[in-house]
Each structure stands twice: as structure tokens, then as C-alpha cells.
Amino acid sequence: MLKIQRLTLFFLTIITFYSCVPQRKFAEMETKYNNLIVDKKASDSINLEYEKNILKLKSELEKTKEEFSKLSSNYTEMEALYNRVKKSYDELTLTYEKRLASESLTKDELKTSLRELESKLVKKELELNEKEANLIKKEEEAKKLNEDFSKIEKSLKEREGKVKELEALIKQKDESVNKLKETLTNALLGYKESGLNVTSKDGKVYVSVDEKLLFQSGKVDVDPIGKKALLKLCEALKNNTEFDILIEGHTDNVPIKTARFEDNWDLSVLRATAITRIMTKEGKIDTKKIIPAGRGENFPVDATDSKEARAKNRRIEIILSPSLKEIMNILNK
């Protein structure tokens, strides 16, 4: 008798140890999944902002091209005017030389005319140089706008490609969730009246099992009928490696304190590990894909303080979450 008591104490210690560790891992995975949804919404907002910037850049580019065209036209006109003035200067110089020879005009008069004409020529040449500088500046601005536009367009295409890839993968995950829900519903149809329900929410499949199908009140030993239902569930999951499994134990809000259970936390944790042990040892579920967790009385499905509500809250929830590895690989590209 003493030997049996020692073995019981040893197994309780092992169960309590393993029930406390994996909860953090699942919480991290759930946080990553929720962050993915937020990232997708943020990505849609950034795409919209990129499209607005592209429209703005296109408008600025068209305006710059229009200014460039006007400057080009002005430059051509100024160049023609410069050539005409220069031609007049050359003609006047020739006239000056001829008149010097004929002594029809004095040297002072011709020198004054030449200085005035030369001054005009210099002024026009400066104006022409300024126009040319402005034209070069506008050319550089147009070139930069084209380069910025090309970079943004390329970045937008890359982001659109990533978003489409994510949307396709999320759609595939949703389809897998729906397919799994249908498979489990059909496999466990015979247990619906016994308090077993299959639902989907937030991209996950929930298998909720009432206490009455699995345990006697205040006990952690699984009833044979409940074990049969669990093994049917394992059979349906046998070839499915895309989902991680969280086993959650839930209790009502009636305090419990016995020689075996300190409180409702203890009871919920030990019930979760009891389910986990059956699914891994007898149901052959990969131990790396399953996490037991105790929730105690903290997540009731019915918060009213009635006998019926307390019965609903005493349950095991088996939560199947699609693997986020492929989605995280896309986000980390």
C-alpha cells in the first residue's frame, strides 16, 4: 500500500511539472498570428499611401515636363535673338570699318554705337546663359523625379507581390481550417448529444467537450466513453501535421481544496495533462505538436451564477491552430 502511494505522488509531481511549461510557447504563436493580421491591415494602408504618392509624383513629373518644354522654347527664341544681335554687331563693325575708310562718320560716334551694341550683346548673352542654366536644372529635376517614381513603383510591386502571397497563404490556411472542422464534425457526430461540439473561430478549430463526457466531478481520470471520443479525434488528426494542438482545462467558479488539489488551477491542469497523455500515448499524436494548459475558472463560457452555467464552464477545449511557419517566412523576406 505504501509503495502505491509513493508511485501516485511521483506521477503527480511529473504531471504538474510538464503542465506549466508549454503555455508560453502557445501564447507566443497566438501573438504572432494576431500580429500577422495587423501587419496585413498595415500593409494595405501603406499600399494605399504608396498609390497616392505615385499619383502626386506623376502630376509633378507632368508639370516639370511642361516647364521643361516652355524653357526649351524660350531658350530657342533667346538663341535666335542672340544670333540676330550678333549678326547686327558684325554688320555694324563692317559698316564702321567702311565708314572709317570713307570718313563719312567720326571715330567717336562709331565707337559710341559699338559700345552700346556690345553692351546689349553682353546683356542678351547673360540672359541666354541664365535660361540655359534653368533648363539644365529642370532637366535634372525631371530625371530625379523619374528615378524616384521608378523606385517607388518597384517597391510597390514588390509589396503587392508579398501581400498577394500572404493573402493566398492565409486563404489556404482558412480552407484548411474549414476542411478540418468538417472532418472533425463528421468524425465526432455521434458524440454531439453527449456534450462535444466542433466550431471554428479566429482561424482556429475548437473542439469543446463537457466535463460529463470525460470526468466524474472533481476527478482527473478519463471516462472510457470520453477516451473513445478522444481516440476518434486522434484518428481524424493522424495524418494532419499542419496544426498545433492546445489542450485547455476549464473549471467552474466553485472553490476546491482537497488533499490532491490545492485549487481549481490544479484540477484544470491535471485534467489537461490527462487528456494530453491519452492523445499522445494511445492516440499517437506527436508530442511536439501538443500543449496542455490549465485555465482554472478564469474563462467561463457562461458568466451567470447558475447550476446550468457552471456545468457549461466545466469543460475541456481542444484548440487546433494552423502552423504560422510559412507565413513568418514571407514576412521575414
Q: Where are the chain's structural domains? A: 16-35+176-325, 45-173
Round to whole Å and give the CA distance between 226 and 237. Answer: 17
Query: Per-residue pLDDT tens for 73-124?
Result: 777 877 787 788 778 778 777 776 776 666 555 666 667 877 787 788 888 8
Q: What pLDDT band is residue 324 in, cutting at 50, 70 and 90?
A: low
Q: What is the mean pLDDT of the chain?
A: 80
Q: Which residue has the higher pLDDT, 314 or 71?
A: 314
Residue 106: its pLDDT value, please? 65
Query: Per-residue pLDDT tens for 218-271?
Result: 889 999 999 999 999 999 888 777 889 999 999 999 998 888 889 999 999 999
Residue 164: pLDDT over 80: no
Q: Which residue has the higher pLDDT, 100 or 31?
A: 31
Domains 16-35+176-325 and 45-173 in one fold:
no
Residue 315: its pLDDT value, please? 94
Closest residue by Cα to residue 208 from 284, 287, 302: 302
Residue 233: its pLDDT value, please? 92
The CATH number that domain 16-35+176-325 falls under is 3.30.1330.60
* Residue 75: C-alpha distances to residues 119, 137, 254 (Å): 20, 13, 92
Q: Where are the alpha helices (DSSP H) in the chain?
A: 2-19, 23-102, 107-187, 211-214, 224-237, 264-277, 307-313, 325-331
The CATH number that domain 45-173 falls under is 1.10.287
